Structure 1
Protein backbone atom coordinates (compact mmCIF):
# COMPACT_ATOMS: atom_id res chain seq x y z
CA UNK A 1 0.00 0.00 0.00
CA UNK A 2 1.38 3.46 -0.94
CA UNK A 3 0.69 6.67 0.93
CA UNK A 4 0.94 9.68 -1.40
CA UNK A 5 1.89 13.09 -0.06
CA UNK A 6 2.76 16.38 -1.73
CA UNK A 7 6.42 15.86 -0.93
CA UNK A 8 7.13 12.19 -1.39
CA UNK A 9 5.70 8.71 -1.64
CA UNK A 10 6.08 6.56 1.47
CA UNK A 11 5.75 2.79 1.47
CA UNK A 12 3.76 1.62 4.47
CA UNK A 13 3.58 -1.95 5.76
CA UNK A 14 0.32 -3.89 5.80
CA UNK A 15 -1.94 -2.87 8.68
CA UNK A 16 -1.68 -6.26 10.40
CA UNK A 17 2.11 -6.02 10.63
CA UNK A 18 1.68 -2.87 12.69
CA UNK A 19 -0.02 -5.00 15.31
CA UNK A 20 2.10 -8.07 15.69
CA UNK A 21 2.11 -9.22 19.31
CA UNK A 22 5.31 -10.74 20.64
CA UNK A 23 3.37 -13.34 22.58
CA UNK A 24 1.06 -16.22 21.89
CA UNK A 25 -2.59 -15.61 22.76
CA UNK A 26 -2.86 -19.23 23.83
CA UNK A 27 -0.21 -18.59 26.48
CA UNK A 28 -1.94 -15.64 28.10
CA UNK A 29 -2.40 -16.24 31.85
CA UNK A 30 -5.92 -16.98 32.97
CA UNK A 31 -6.64 -14.45 35.66
CA UNK A 32 -9.40 -14.03 38.16
CA UNK A 33 -11.13 -10.62 38.05
CA UNK A 34 -9.88 -8.02 40.46
CA UNK A 35 -10.33 -4.29 40.63
CA UNK A 36 -8.14 -2.10 38.52
CA UNK A 37 -6.32 0.47 40.67
CA UNK A 38 -6.96 2.97 37.89
CA UNK A 39 -10.66 2.30 37.57
CA UNK A 40 -12.33 0.45 40.47
CA UNK A 41 -15.38 -0.35 38.35
CA UNK A 42 -13.45 -1.94 35.48
CA UNK A 43 -12.22 -5.52 35.80
CA UNK A 44 -9.10 -6.62 33.89
CA UNK A 45 -10.80 -9.92 33.05
CA UNK A 46 -13.54 -7.95 31.30
CA UNK A 47 -10.95 -6.05 29.31
CA UNK A 48 -9.08 -9.24 28.41
CA UNK A 49 -12.22 -11.06 27.25
CA UNK A 50 -13.25 -7.99 25.25
CA UNK A 51 -10.13 -7.74 23.11
CA UNK A 52 -9.80 -11.51 22.77
CA UNK A 53 -13.34 -11.56 21.37
CA UNK A 54 -12.38 -8.86 18.87
CA UNK A 55 -9.45 -10.99 17.72
CA UNK A 56 -11.72 -13.98 17.27
CA UNK A 57 -10.60 -15.90 20.33
CA UNK A 58 -13.71 -15.33 22.44
CA UNK A 59 -15.02 -18.08 24.69
CA UNK A 60 -18.47 -19.57 24.39
CA UNK A 61 -21.18 -17.34 25.79
CA UNK A 62 -24.78 -18.07 26.77
CA UNK A 63 -25.95 -16.31 23.59
CA UNK A 64 -23.82 -18.71 21.54
CA UNK A 65 -25.31 -21.72 23.34
CA UNK A 66 -28.94 -20.94 24.13
CA UNK A 67 -30.29 -22.60 27.24
CA UNK A 68 -32.99 -25.11 26.39
CA UNK A 69 -35.30 -26.94 28.73
CA UNK A 70 -33.29 -30.18 28.64
CA UNK A 71 -29.94 -28.65 29.62
CA UNK A 72 -31.56 -26.27 32.07
CA UNK A 73 -33.19 -29.19 33.88
CA UNK A 74 -29.77 -30.83 34.22
CA UNK A 75 -28.21 -27.67 35.64
CA UNK A 76 -31.11 -27.20 38.03
CA UNK A 77 -31.07 -30.81 39.17
CA UNK A 78 -29.62 -31.93 42.52
CA UNK A 79 -25.94 -32.50 43.10
CA UNK A 80 -25.84 -36.25 42.60
CA UNK A 81 -22.12 -36.66 43.19
CA UNK A 82 -21.29 -38.99 46.06
CA UNK A 83 -18.77 -38.14 48.80
CA UNK A 84 -16.20 -40.63 50.00
CA UNK A 85 -17.46 -43.31 52.42
CA UNK A 86 -18.22 -41.84 55.83
CA UNK A 87 -17.91 -38.29 54.50
CA UNK A 88 -20.49 -35.54 53.92
CA UNK A 89 -20.75 -32.69 51.42
CA UNK A 90 -21.44 -29.03 52.17
CA UNK A 91 -21.66 -26.17 49.69
CA UNK A 92 -21.05 -22.45 50.27
CA UNK A 93 -20.95 -19.30 48.16
CA UNK A 94 -19.20 -16.33 49.79
CA UNK A 95 -17.70 -14.23 47.01
CA UNK A 96 -14.50 -15.09 45.16
CA UNK A 97 -14.04 -18.79 45.75
CA UNK A 98 -10.24 -18.71 46.00
CA UNK A 99 -10.03 -17.32 49.53
CA UNK A 100 -13.13 -19.16 50.67
CA UNK A 101 -11.64 -22.47 49.60
CA UNK A 102 -8.42 -21.83 51.48
CA UNK A 103 -10.37 -20.98 54.64
CA UNK A 104 -12.14 -24.34 54.48
CA UNK A 105 -8.95 -26.22 53.57
CA UNK A 106 -7.54 -25.18 56.94
CA UNK A 107 -10.43 -26.62 58.95
CA UNK A 108 -9.61 -29.86 60.81
CA UNK A 109 -11.87 -32.63 59.57
CA UNK A 110 -12.22 -31.19 56.06
CA UNK A 111 -10.85 -33.85 53.74
CA UNK A 112 -11.38 -32.27 50.33
CA UNK A 113 -12.39 -28.98 48.74
CA UNK A 114 -13.32 -28.06 45.18
CA UNK A 115 -14.38 -24.77 43.66
CA UNK A 116 -17.09 -24.58 41.04
CA UNK A 117 -20.35 -23.19 39.77
CA UNK A 118 -23.93 -23.98 40.77
CA UNK A 119 -27.52 -22.69 40.95
CA UNK A 120 -27.46 -21.56 37.30
CA UNK A 121 -29.40 -22.48 34.18
CA UNK A 122 -26.58 -23.35 31.78
CA UNK A 123 -25.20 -26.88 31.55
CA UNK A 124 -21.39 -27.15 31.69
CA UNK A 125 -20.72 -23.43 32.13
CA UNK A 126 -17.29 -21.91 31.66
CA UNK A 127 -15.77 -19.19 33.81
CA UNK A 128 -16.52 -16.66 31.06
CA UNK A 129 -20.14 -17.83 31.00
CA UNK A 130 -20.72 -17.23 34.68
CA UNK A 131 -18.92 -13.87 34.54
CA UNK A 132 -21.42 -12.70 31.92
CA UNK A 133 -24.02 -12.36 34.67
CA UNK A 134 -26.69 -14.06 32.55
CA UNK A 135 -26.56 -17.67 33.76
CA UNK A 136 -27.40 -17.16 37.46
CA UNK A 137 -24.49 -19.31 38.61
CA UNK A 138 -22.81 -18.73 41.93
CA UNK A 139 -19.13 -19.29 42.65
CA UNK A 140 -19.06 -21.91 45.39
CA UNK A 141 -16.80 -24.18 47.36
CA UNK A 142 -17.90 -27.75 47.81
CA UNK A 143 -16.51 -29.09 51.04
CA UNK A 144 -16.12 -32.76 51.88
CA UNK A 145 -15.79 -33.33 55.60
CA UNK A 146 -15.69 -36.07 58.20
CA UNK A 147 -18.65 -35.48 60.56
CA UNK A 148 -16.79 -37.34 63.30
CA UNK A 149 -14.07 -34.68 63.25
CA UNK A 150 -15.86 -31.61 61.98
CA UNK A 151 -19.43 -30.50 62.60
CA UNK A 152 -21.59 -28.72 60.06
CA UNK A 153 -21.93 -25.87 62.57
CA UNK A 154 -18.15 -25.42 62.48
CA UNK A 155 -18.32 -25.00 58.70
CA UNK A 156 -21.12 -22.47 59.10
CA UNK A 157 -18.96 -20.47 61.52
CA UNK A 158 -16.16 -20.36 58.94
CA UNK A 159 -18.65 -19.30 56.25
CA UNK A 160 -19.99 -16.34 58.27
CA UNK A 161 -16.53 -15.22 59.34
CA UNK A 162 -15.12 -15.26 55.83
CA UNK A 163 -17.43 -12.71 54.14
CA UNK A 164 -20.00 -9.96 54.56
CA UNK A 165 -23.44 -11.59 54.26
CA UNK A 166 -25.24 -8.23 54.11
CA UNK A 167 -24.00 -7.09 50.68
CA UNK A 168 -26.15 -8.23 47.78
CA UNK A 169 -24.25 -9.76 44.85
CA UNK A 170 -21.04 -8.23 46.10
CA UNK A 171 -18.00 -8.98 48.24
CA UNK A 172 -15.69 -6.00 48.53
CA UNK A 173 -14.73 -4.92 45.03
CA UNK A 174 -16.03 -8.12 43.42
CA UNK A 175 -19.45 -7.31 42.00
CA UNK A 176 -21.85 -9.65 40.22
CA UNK A 177 -24.49 -12.30 40.85
CA UNK A 178 -21.78 -14.97 40.90
CA UNK A 179 -20.42 -13.43 44.12
CA UNK A 180 -23.65 -13.69 46.11
CA UNK A 181 -23.81 -15.17 49.57
CA UNK A 182 -25.37 -18.60 49.75
CA UNK A 183 -25.63 -21.80 51.77
CA UNK A 184 -26.69 -24.79 49.68
CA UNK A 185 -27.79 -27.71 51.81
CA UNK A 186 -27.80 -31.45 51.09
CA UNK A 187 -30.04 -32.68 53.91
CA UNK A 188 -32.93 -31.40 56.02
CA UNK A 189 -30.54 -31.37 58.97
CA UNK A 190 -28.18 -29.03 57.12
CA UNK A 191 -31.08 -26.77 56.14
CA UNK A 192 -32.27 -26.52 59.76
CA UNK A 193 -28.76 -25.79 61.02
CA UNK A 194 -28.24 -23.14 58.31
CA UNK A 195 -31.50 -21.34 59.11
CA UNK A 196 -30.79 -21.35 62.84
CA UNK A 197 -27.25 -20.17 62.23
CA UNK A 198 -28.48 -17.33 60.03
CA UNK A 199 -30.91 -16.26 62.75
CA UNK A 200 -28.14 -16.18 65.34
CA UNK A 201 -25.86 -14.25 63.02
CA UNK A 202 -28.57 -11.70 62.30
CA UNK A 203 -28.76 -10.82 65.99
CA UNK A 204 -25.13 -9.67 66.03
CA UNK A 205 -25.34 -7.57 62.87
CA UNK A 206 -27.07 -4.24 62.40
CA UNK A 207 -27.82 -4.82 58.72
CA UNK A 208 -30.08 -7.36 57.07
CA UNK A 209 -28.45 -10.62 55.97
CA UNK A 210 -29.11 -11.39 52.29
CA UNK A 211 -27.66 -14.91 52.29
CA UNK A 212 -29.79 -17.35 50.30
CA UNK A 213 -30.36 -20.82 51.75
CA UNK A 214 -31.32 -23.30 49.05
CA UNK A 215 -31.01 -27.00 48.18
CA UNK A 216 -27.65 -27.93 46.67
CA UNK A 217 -27.95 -28.16 42.89
CA UNK A 218 -25.67 -29.70 40.30
CA UNK A 219 -22.07 -28.79 40.97
CA UNK A 220 -19.88 -27.92 37.99
CA UNK A 221 -16.21 -28.14 38.88
CA UNK A 222 -14.38 -25.00 37.83
CA UNK A 223 -11.41 -25.02 35.49
CA UNK A 224 -8.30 -26.66 36.91
CA UNK A 225 -6.35 -23.41 37.31
CA UNK A 226 -8.97 -22.26 39.84
CA UNK A 227 -8.57 -25.33 42.07
CA UNK A 228 -6.53 -24.70 45.25
CA UNK A 229 -5.43 -21.49 43.55
CA UNK A 230 -3.94 -19.76 46.58
CA UNK A 231 -2.28 -22.91 47.90
CA UNK A 232 -0.54 -23.27 44.51
CA UNK A 233 0.79 -19.73 44.65
CA UNK A 234 -1.94 -17.52 43.25
CA UNK A 235 -1.16 -14.80 40.75
CA UNK A 236 2.22 -13.88 42.16
CA UNK A 237 3.58 -17.29 43.15
CA UNK A 238 3.07 -16.70 46.87
CA UNK A 239 1.93 -20.02 48.28
CA UNK A 240 -0.40 -19.79 51.25
CA UNK A 241 -0.56 -22.44 53.94
CA UNK A 242 -3.32 -25.07 54.00
CA UNK A 243 -2.11 -26.43 57.34
CA UNK A 244 -5.00 -27.39 59.59
CA UNK A 245 -5.69 -24.70 62.15
CA UNK A 246 -3.50 -22.13 60.36
CA UNK A 247 -4.54 -18.55 61.14
CA UNK A 248 -2.31 -16.73 58.67
CA UNK A 249 -4.17 -13.91 56.87
CA UNK A 250 -5.60 -15.00 53.54
CA UNK A 251 -4.54 -12.85 50.60
CA UNK A 252 -7.40 -13.41 48.21
CA UNK A 253 -5.51 -12.74 44.99
CA UNK A 254 -2.28 -14.39 45.97
Structure 2
Protein backbone atom coordinates (compact mmCIF):
# COMPACT_ATOMS: atom_id res chain seq x y z
CA UNK A 1 0.00 0.00 0.00
CA UNK A 2 1.30 3.48 -0.86
CA UNK A 3 1.95 5.90 1.99
CA UNK A 4 -0.82 8.44 2.41
CA UNK A 5 -0.23 12.19 2.28
CA UNK A 6 -2.41 14.74 4.10
CA UNK A 7 -5.89 15.19 2.65
CA UNK A 8 -5.87 17.67 -0.21
CA UNK A 9 -8.34 19.15 -2.66
CA UNK A 10 -7.79 17.53 -6.03
CA UNK A 11 -8.19 19.61 -9.14
CA UNK A 12 -10.57 17.98 -11.59
CA UNK A 13 -8.59 19.44 -14.45
CA UNK A 14 -5.35 17.69 -13.54
CA UNK A 15 -3.99 15.28 -16.09
CA UNK A 16 -4.11 11.59 -15.21
CA UNK A 17 -1.17 10.74 -17.43
CA UNK A 18 2.04 10.09 -15.49
CA UNK A 19 5.53 9.11 -16.65
CA UNK A 20 7.22 6.34 -14.72
CA UNK A 21 10.00 8.50 -13.37
CA UNK A 22 7.52 10.57 -11.37
CA UNK A 23 5.62 7.60 -10.04
CA UNK A 24 8.83 5.99 -8.91
CA UNK A 25 10.42 8.97 -7.23
CA UNK A 26 7.58 10.89 -5.62
CA UNK A 27 5.84 8.45 -3.30
CA UNK A 28 7.58 9.91 -0.25
CA UNK A 29 8.32 13.43 -1.43
CA UNK A 30 6.37 16.44 -0.08
CA UNK A 31 3.21 17.20 -2.00
CA UNK A 32 3.53 20.07 -4.44
CA UNK A 33 0.76 22.66 -4.47
CA UNK A 34 0.91 23.73 -8.09
CA UNK A 35 -2.13 22.80 -10.14
CA UNK A 36 0.25 21.12 -12.55
CA UNK A 37 1.79 18.95 -9.82
CA UNK A 38 2.27 15.36 -11.00
CA UNK A 39 1.23 14.19 -7.53
CA UNK A 40 -2.32 15.34 -8.11
CA UNK A 41 -2.83 12.98 -11.02
CA UNK A 42 -1.65 9.97 -9.02
CA UNK A 43 -3.81 10.78 -6.00
CA UNK A 44 -6.72 11.39 -8.34
CA UNK A 45 -6.14 7.98 -9.88
CA UNK A 46 -6.20 6.40 -6.41
CA UNK A 47 -9.39 8.30 -5.56
CA UNK A 48 -11.04 7.03 -8.74
CA UNK A 49 -10.01 3.50 -7.76
CA UNK A 50 -11.59 3.88 -4.30
CA UNK A 51 -14.79 5.10 -5.94
CA UNK A 52 -14.89 2.07 -8.19
CA UNK A 53 -13.95 4.06 -11.28
CA UNK A 54 -10.36 2.87 -11.60
CA UNK A 55 -8.48 -0.41 -11.32
CA UNK A 56 -10.23 -3.20 -9.48
CA UNK A 57 -9.30 -4.51 -6.05
CA UNK A 58 -7.58 -7.92 -5.76
CA UNK A 59 -10.87 -9.43 -4.59
CA UNK A 60 -12.74 -8.05 -7.58
CA UNK A 61 -9.99 -9.12 -9.95
CA UNK A 62 -9.90 -12.62 -8.52
CA UNK A 63 -13.66 -12.92 -9.09
CA UNK A 64 -12.99 -12.88 -12.81
CA UNK A 65 -12.07 -16.55 -12.90
CA UNK A 66 -10.96 -16.62 -16.53
CA UNK A 67 -8.60 -13.65 -16.15
CA UNK A 68 -7.30 -14.82 -12.81
CA UNK A 69 -6.67 -18.35 -14.05
CA UNK A 70 -4.49 -17.01 -16.86
CA UNK A 71 -2.57 -14.64 -14.60
CA UNK A 72 -2.04 -17.28 -11.95
CA UNK A 73 -0.93 -19.92 -14.43
CA UNK A 74 2.69 -20.93 -14.98
CA UNK A 75 5.10 -19.07 -17.23
CA UNK A 76 4.94 -21.09 -20.44
CA UNK A 77 7.52 -19.01 -22.30
CA UNK A 78 10.51 -21.06 -23.44
CA UNK A 79 14.12 -19.90 -23.04
CA UNK A 80 16.64 -20.20 -25.84
CA UNK A 81 18.14 -23.68 -26.41
CA UNK A 82 20.53 -24.61 -23.64
CA UNK A 83 19.37 -21.69 -21.49
CA UNK A 84 17.25 -21.46 -18.35
CA UNK A 85 14.93 -18.87 -16.84
CA UNK A 86 15.02 -17.38 -13.36
CA UNK A 87 12.69 -14.72 -12.01
CA UNK A 88 13.27 -12.25 -9.17
CA UNK A 89 11.49 -9.38 -7.47
CA UNK A 90 13.70 -7.04 -5.44
CA UNK A 91 12.23 -3.55 -5.65
CA UNK A 92 12.17 -1.22 -8.65
CA UNK A 93 12.97 -3.41 -11.63
CA UNK A 94 15.16 -0.83 -13.37
CA UNK A 95 18.14 -1.28 -11.07
CA UNK A 96 17.51 -4.98 -10.52
CA UNK A 97 17.65 -5.59 -14.25
CA UNK A 98 20.94 -3.75 -14.64
CA UNK A 99 22.67 -5.71 -11.89
CA UNK A 100 21.69 -8.98 -13.60
CA UNK A 101 22.66 -7.67 -17.02
CA UNK A 102 26.21 -7.38 -15.69
CA UNK A 103 26.43 -10.99 -14.52
CA UNK A 104 28.63 -13.21 -16.71
CA UNK A 105 26.55 -16.04 -18.16
CA UNK A 106 23.32 -14.03 -18.21
CA UNK A 107 22.26 -13.87 -21.85
CA UNK A 108 19.02 -11.89 -21.65
CA UNK A 109 16.96 -9.87 -19.17
CA UNK A 110 13.40 -8.53 -19.32
CA UNK A 111 11.39 -6.55 -16.81
CA UNK A 112 7.72 -7.22 -16.26
CA UNK A 113 4.87 -8.03 -13.93
CA UNK A 114 3.98 -11.34 -12.33
CA UNK A 115 2.28 -12.99 -9.34
CA UNK A 116 -0.88 -10.90 -9.72
CA UNK A 117 -4.59 -11.51 -10.21
CA UNK A 118 -5.39 -9.84 -13.51
CA UNK A 119 -4.49 -10.57 -17.13
CA UNK A 120 -2.38 -8.10 -19.13
CA UNK A 121 -1.86 -5.46 -16.43
CA UNK A 122 -0.62 -2.00 -17.35
CA UNK A 123 1.98 -0.16 -15.32
CA UNK A 124 -0.67 2.11 -13.80
CA UNK A 125 -2.64 -0.95 -12.64
CA UNK A 126 0.41 -2.43 -10.96
CA UNK A 127 1.30 0.89 -9.27
CA UNK A 128 -2.22 1.19 -7.86
CA UNK A 129 -1.60 -1.94 -5.78
CA UNK A 130 -4.96 -3.34 -6.82
CA UNK A 131 -3.70 -6.29 -8.88
CA UNK A 132 -1.06 -7.74 -6.50
CA UNK A 133 1.52 -7.93 -9.29
CA UNK A 134 5.19 -7.63 -8.45
CA UNK A 135 7.79 -5.83 -10.53
CA UNK A 136 10.08 -8.67 -11.58
CA UNK A 137 13.10 -9.32 -13.74
CA UNK A 138 13.12 -12.48 -15.82
CA UNK A 139 16.69 -13.61 -16.32
CA UNK A 140 17.80 -15.98 -19.07
CA UNK A 141 21.13 -17.58 -18.28
CA UNK A 142 23.51 -20.24 -19.50
CA UNK A 143 23.81 -22.80 -16.66
CA UNK A 144 27.22 -23.84 -18.00
CA UNK A 145 28.54 -20.32 -17.45
CA UNK A 146 26.36 -19.10 -14.59
CA UNK A 147 24.89 -21.14 -11.76
CA UNK A 148 21.52 -20.43 -10.19
CA UNK A 149 23.34 -20.09 -6.85
CA UNK A 150 25.37 -17.21 -8.26
CA UNK A 151 22.14 -15.49 -9.31
CA UNK A 152 20.82 -15.94 -5.79
CA UNK A 153 23.95 -14.29 -4.41
CA UNK A 154 23.30 -11.28 -6.65
CA UNK A 155 19.65 -11.20 -5.59
CA UNK A 156 20.43 -11.11 -1.86
CA UNK A 157 23.15 -8.50 -2.27
CA UNK A 158 20.93 -6.16 -4.27
CA UNK A 159 18.15 -5.42 -1.77
CA UNK A 160 16.87 -5.63 1.81
CA UNK A 161 14.81 -8.84 2.08
CA UNK A 162 13.45 -7.93 5.54
CA UNK A 163 11.20 -5.01 4.58
CA UNK A 164 7.67 -6.09 3.59
CA UNK A 165 6.43 -4.42 0.40
CA UNK A 166 9.18 -1.84 0.49
CA UNK A 167 12.65 -1.04 -0.81
CA UNK A 168 13.94 2.28 0.45
CA UNK A 169 11.54 5.03 -0.60
CA UNK A 170 9.64 2.70 -2.93
CA UNK A 171 6.57 1.46 -1.07
CA UNK A 172 3.91 -0.93 -2.33
CA UNK A 173 3.20 -4.60 -2.97
CA UNK A 174 4.89 -4.31 -6.37
CA UNK A 175 8.23 -3.87 -4.58
CA UNK A 176 8.11 -7.04 -2.48
CA UNK A 177 11.00 -9.46 -2.29
CA UNK A 178 10.49 -12.68 -4.20
CA UNK A 179 12.23 -15.64 -5.81
CA UNK A 180 10.04 -17.34 -8.40
CA UNK A 181 11.34 -20.75 -9.34
CA UNK A 182 10.91 -22.75 -12.55
CA UNK A 183 12.22 -26.12 -11.39
CA UNK A 184 12.35 -28.17 -8.18
CA UNK A 185 16.12 -27.67 -8.22
CA UNK A 186 15.70 -23.91 -8.19
CA UNK A 187 13.18 -24.16 -5.36
CA UNK A 188 15.55 -26.26 -3.26
CA UNK A 189 18.46 -23.92 -3.88
CA UNK A 190 16.35 -20.87 -3.05
CA UNK A 191 15.11 -22.31 0.24
CA UNK A 192 18.60 -23.34 1.29
CA UNK A 193 19.94 -19.94 0.32
CA UNK A 194 17.26 -18.16 2.37
CA UNK A 195 18.12 -20.30 5.38
CA UNK A 196 21.77 -19.32 5.10
CA UNK A 197 20.93 -15.66 4.67
CA UNK A 198 18.65 -15.70 7.71
CA UNK A 199 21.54 -16.86 9.90
CA UNK A 200 23.39 -13.66 9.00
CA UNK A 201 20.54 -11.28 9.83
CA UNK A 202 18.81 -10.32 13.07
CA UNK A 203 15.55 -9.45 11.31
CA UNK A 204 13.15 -11.88 9.70
CA UNK A 205 13.45 -12.33 5.95
CA UNK A 206 10.08 -11.84 4.24
CA UNK A 207 11.10 -13.02 0.75
CA UNK A 208 8.43 -15.15 -0.87
CA UNK A 209 9.62 -18.29 -2.66
CA UNK A 210 6.87 -19.59 -4.95
CA UNK A 211 6.55 -21.04 -8.46
CA UNK A 212 7.05 -18.64 -11.36
CA UNK A 213 3.72 -17.51 -12.78
CA UNK A 214 2.79 -15.94 -16.08
CA UNK A 215 5.25 -13.20 -16.99
CA UNK A 216 3.81 -10.02 -18.48
CA UNK A 217 6.51 -8.05 -20.24
CA UNK A 218 6.46 -4.43 -19.13
CA UNK A 219 6.05 -1.51 -21.49
CA UNK A 220 8.98 -1.03 -23.84
CA UNK A 221 10.29 2.14 -22.21
CA UNK A 222 10.94 0.15 -19.03
CA UNK A 223 13.18 -2.38 -20.78
CA UNK A 224 16.92 -1.80 -20.13
CA UNK A 225 15.87 1.60 -18.78
CA UNK A 226 19.17 2.49 -17.10
CA UNK A 227 21.31 1.11 -19.91
CA UNK A 228 19.42 3.40 -22.31
CA UNK A 229 20.08 6.47 -20.19
CA UNK A 230 17.43 6.52 -17.49
CA UNK A 231 15.93 9.73 -16.22
CA UNK A 232 18.85 12.02 -17.01
CA UNK A 233 20.17 10.46 -20.21
CA UNK A 234 23.35 9.05 -18.66
CA UNK A 235 23.79 5.52 -19.93
CA UNK A 236 24.99 3.01 -17.34
CA UNK A 237 27.31 0.18 -18.29
CA UNK A 238 26.01 -3.34 -18.85
CA UNK A 239 29.53 -4.72 -19.32
CA UNK A 240 29.93 -8.13 -17.73
CA UNK A 241 31.58 -7.88 -14.33
CA UNK A 242 31.12 -4.11 -14.14
CA UNK A 243 31.07 -2.82 -10.56
CA UNK A 244 30.12 0.79 -11.25
CA UNK A 245 27.53 2.07 -8.74
CA UNK A 246 24.00 1.75 -10.03
CA UNK A 247 22.03 4.99 -10.02
CA UNK A 248 18.60 3.52 -9.45
CA UNK A 249 16.67 6.14 -11.38
CA UNK A 250 19.28 7.12 -13.91
The TM-score with structure 2 as length reference comes to: 0.82
Task: State the match for 1:72 in structure 2.
Answer: 68
**Structure 1 residues 60 and 110: CA distance shift in structure 2, 3 A:** farther
1:245 is displaced (CA, Å) by 0.1
- Which residues of 2 match residues 1-254 of structure 1 at below 5 A? 29-31=19-21, 32-35=23-26, 37-38=29-30, 47-50=40-43, 61-62=55-56, 67=61, 68-254=64-250
Uncovered stretches (5+) of structure 2, i.e. residues with no partner? 1-12, 32-36, 48-52
Contact 1:181 1:212 in 2 (8 A): yes
1:206 is displaced (CA, Å) by 1.0
Deviation digits for residues 116-157 of structure 1, max 9, x if unmatched? 000000000001101111111111000000000000000000
**Structure 1 residues 121 and 251: CA distance shift in structure 2, 3 A:** same
1:33 is displaced (CA, Å) by 1.4
SS at match of 1:239: coil
1:46 is displaced (CA, Å) by 5.1
- TM superposition outliers: structure 1 runs of 4+ over 6 Å: 25-28
**Structure 1 residues 47 and 160: CA distance shift in structure 2, 3 A:** farther
Q: Mean Cα displacement is larger for which, 208-217 or 127-136?
A: 127-136
Q: Which has the larger radius of gyration?
A: 1
SS at match of 1:214: strand
SS at match of 1:178: helix
Contact 1:62 1:122 in 2 (8 A): no
Distance 1:45 1:202 in 2: 40
Paired residues, number: 223
Distance 1:145 1:105 in 2: 10
Distance 2:189 2:46 in 1: 45
SS at match of 2:98: helix
SS at match of 2:185: helix
Contact 2:182 2:211 in 1 (8 A): yes
SS at match of 2:24: coil
Contact 1:90 1:185 in 2 (8 A): yes
**Structure 1 residues 236 and 136: CA distance shift in structure 2, 3 A:** same
Cα RMSD after superposing both structures: 2.4
1:38 is displaced (CA, Å) by 3.0
Contact 2:16 2:45 in 1 (8 A): no
Distance 2:156 2:228 in 1: 25
